[in-house]
Amino acid sequence: MFKKLRGKLILINLGITSVVILVSFSFIYLFSTQSANHRPPIPESKIELYTDDVEDIITVTINKEKQLAARDLLVMLIVSGLAIELAVALVSYFLADMAIRPVKEAYNSQKVFVANASHEIKTPLAAISANLEAADIHGNKWISNVEKEVAKLTTLNNELLTLARTDLINDSGVATEVDLGSLAKNAVHSFEPRMTKIDFKFTNNTGGKTKINADDYTQILNILMDNAVKYCDQKISLTISNHELNISNDGATISKQSADHIFERFYQTDKTTDGVGLGLAIAKSIAERNNWQLSVEPDKQLTTFILKY
């Protein structure tokens, strides 16, 4: 994230500098060449001293000198402009790094805090859930409400902990040779109880094994499948190959505006559904960590999430 921000700041500085250099150097070049092209005529008192041939030779010589001078000026301006651009790029890099450093440190501290807080909250939530189960009280709506809210808090806390850990881990993990088809089938099994009334289609176009981070791949697959089950009407389609994963559902159409923000943290297209909008943000973070591309393509019939790896 901060690399992109630093890159944007450098590009903005270079863009402004380029415009200033282009305008100023163009003015210098035009002014210099126009001044050079304006040669005062030879005085009439000296015309008789020259023959036509000599006058022609002088004119040709002067024109050649003008062309050489204009060429030298242009080369000098180009070299000077490139040198200035390079200097601005280097200075912008260090200035941008200094500017975003406090923000970066605060952001990293926030990530560590969220990870630690989520880890600490996990223990009492587990204790509450265990005590509710041990109490073995059935038929009490108040106890049922508490159990539901504890389950929601546990899910939210786990998502925050996963997101914080994903932010803190910079490397892409260990890649191994795996059968993506088998991974997908195993992941889909856990969703079968929720898909009893859904027309689910699975297409496996993989050939042999693929070297990939299996844990991260499975986690993204689970997040996208959960999202598809949650928002679909009747149909879900899962298609995998050795380099791409597609999951489509026929749920409500996502607008272009929502598609632009759907991977942002806490963003929800439907505020009435369960969850807080962290699932797709987690998937996006995992994908970026592995240098994969995760995108969404909404249309009138289907919403398709595409993972390229």
Along the 309 residues of the chain, how does pLDDT read in single tens digits?
667 777 777 788 778 888 888 877 777 777 666 655 555 555 555 555 555 566 566 667 767 777 777 777 778 788 887 888 888 888 878 777 777 777 777 777 777 777 777 777 878 888 888 888 777 777 788 888 888 888 888 888 887 877 777 776 666 678 899 999 999 999 999 899 889 889 999 999 988 889 999 989 999 999 999 989 988 989 999 999 999 999 999 888 788 888 888 888 888 776 666 666 788 988 998 898 889 999 998 877 889 999 999
Residue partners of 66: CB distance under 8 A and separation at least 6 = 33, 36, 37
Going from the N-terminus, what domains does the chain have, and what CATH number goes with each? 1-168 (no CATH), 176-308 (3.30.565.10)
> How far apart, in whole angstroms, are the C-alpha atoms of residue 289 and residue 167?
9
Q: What is the CB neighbour count within 10 angstroms for residue 137?
A: 13
